Amino acid sequence: MADKRVDAWIPEELKQYLAERAERENRGMNGLLADLIRQEQAREQGSIIEQQSLPIIREIVSSELRQQLAGVRRQLREEIVSEVTDEVKDTSLKHANRLAGLIVRTARDSAIARRLLYVVLAKAYGPDFALKAYEDAREKAGQELAKRPAREKAEDEA
């Protein structure tokens, strides 16, 4: 590319600066001035490119932040679910153990009461009456238990 002449009026102190710098760098003022203009051109083009690419960079960063935030939320949700599940399991196990203990105690106490009642009835009215009373009570209890689900079902439907 051919060199072109540029005539421009600049303040005296700027011309003095160019002359001193050219002398320090052992260069001509034309080469120095051309380099300064090239640097300004590169800076300006960089600013334009920066302005054009800034929205794209912003969108990339925003997208990456959204993905990371979604991952953190997912991980946090999994940890909370895990903690709650573990706590529910522990509580359920404690309640199940307590319920099993109560059922065993109830069954044992009912067996003791049945035997004691049989003994009292046998002593007061004789063993035949006690056996008859036991069989009658057992039969009626079975009938009541058989009726209970039908009664509960009717109550649920009402």
Residue 152 has pLDDT above 80, yes or no: no
Residue 152 in any domain: the answer is no
Q: How does pLDDT run across 52-77, given as a tens digit for each residue?
A: 777 888 889 999 999 999 999 999 99
Q: Collect all residues with Cβ–Cβ distance below 8 Å to 151 and sequence separation of at least 6.
A: none
Q: What is the domain extent for residue 60?
A: 12-106
Q: Give me the pLDDT at residue 95, please.
A: 94
Determine, yes or no, domain membership for 130. Answer: no
The Cβ-side half-sphere exposure at 93, using a 13 Å CA radius, reads: 6
Whether residue 146 is predicted with pLDDT greater than 80 in this model: the reply is yes
pLDDT at 150 (0 to 100): 62
In a domain, residue 25? The reply is: yes
- Can you tell me which residue has the tokens 């490119």? 49
Count Cα neighbours of 155 within 13 Å in the Cβ-side half-sphere. 6
pLDDT score recorded for residue 149: 67
Within a domain: 35? yes
Please state the domain count of the chain. Answer: 1
Residue 158 lies in a domain: no
Question: What is the reported pTM?
Answer: 0.42
Residue 48 lies in a domain: yes
